[in-house]
Amino acid sequence: MNNEFKMKFKSIPGLSAFAVMVNREIVRPIRLALRHPLAHKDNKALLKMLNGLQGAERPRVWYFGVPTHNNLGDQAQKFCILAWVEANCPGAEIVKISSRDFNGGAARTAVLLKRLVRPDDVIIMQSGHTMDGLHPDETAHRMIPDSFPGNRIVFFPTSIKFLSKRGMRRDIRAINAHPRTLFLARDAVSAEKARSIYPKVDVRLYPDVVTTLIGKYEFDGHRSGALLCTRNDGEKFYSYGEIDALADELERQIGSLAQTDTTVDLGGIDLDSKEAWSRIEKVIESYAHYRVVVTDRYHGTIFARIAGTPVVVLRTADHKVTSGAQWFEDAGDEAITVAGDLASVPDLARGLMTRFPEGAAAPPFAAPYYEELHDLIEAV
């Protein structure tokens, strides 16, 4: 089955969640079994790195779930998390562990980590939609709290929508049993869910860490046309045909239209390099060339508002994009609107272009949250 056919199947309304569940419950275990030799090799490299860590002169921050894929939103989260840690934990050694490397030998890695993690070390978990009961990051979510009951654990802003009841029960059992956990929920729906299933955990409503970049860039230059940034995965709400029809209508009514996604080919570069971060900044800058962005990607929304470009937000199969947009609306951002349906999108886009012909700066609402985060972690 080729990738284009899989994506089209997964994007059929009503089948998205089912397709993701089948992929992760049945297809993924088979795929993992087939790639076990490579996973074992990845894990051996991780163990070698951990064994090579120097003595205990400095405190450590252990960062689990470091993304190894080309989704620019996840990579931007990583760089922003690292920047926050470096600014707020000066002198700390940051140890980065991807789920790919950890899951290739989670049990033996946990045994080694018990010799390395000290009582005052802080453990952080990658941000994003990493909690659906089937996500690769959840192996660490379940094993690390059990292995380190006395350490502080921080989940950077996370979205929750469970596709597996069994996975949800495993998450609840591990996370709720760890009282020194600070769980940052990325949207109000996820915060309500987290408070109901993790009653023993400190749950806070927190904006996506990439929103800390709002207000830090100024882009000059001519703006023209629109950008349609839509996802190519199982979280789509609208079908490919519906998105194609929307693109045709936007082009007819607005004129110039470009199309993109936030998952791109980075050409095999080191994802932790300055070049990788430069690529992300160039993508954000590219959003400043348009008069409006239409997107069903949450980081497409965030990138656009960092660039000062108005946004029309489309629905996805879950709540994270539309509820994430609520942060901007609650902060008084008038250059963002959520479309109830595709038919309204061209008028909404033209309205924003008319009101904000030169773009509009977004309010930097995230700053107070991340300024107080260090104290919240210390209090856990």
Helical H runs in the chain? Answer: 3-10, 16-22, 28-34, 36-51, 72-88, 99-103, 106-116, 138-147, 165-175, 188-197, 240-254, 274-287, 298-306, 320-330, 345-355, 367-379
Count Cα neighbours of 73 within 13 Å in the Cβ-side half-sphere: 22
Tell me what pLDDT residue 1 has: 43
Q: What share of the chain is helix, strand, coil (3-state, %, to 5)?
A: 50, 15, 35
CA dist list (Å): 301 to 95, 118, 127, 284: 30, 39, 17, 11
Q: State in words which class domain 226-355 has.
A: alpha beta
Whole-number Å distance between alpha carbons of 374 and 380 = 10
Tell me what pLDDT residue 159 has: 95
Residue 270: exposed, middle, or buried by beta-carbon count in 10 A (0-12, 13-18, 19+)? exposed
- Domains of the chain, by residue range, sit at 57-210+368-379, 226-355
Tell me what pLDDT residue 180 has: 97
Q: Which residues of the chain have pLDDT under 70?
A: 1-37, 56, 234
State pLDDT tens for residues 176-219. 999 999 999 999 999 999 999 999 999 999 999 999 999 999 99
Report pTM: 0.90
Tell me what pLDDT residue 2 has: 45
Select from 2.40.110.10, 2.40.50.1020, 3.40.50.1000, 3.40.50.2300 the CATH code of 57-210+368-379: 3.40.50.2300
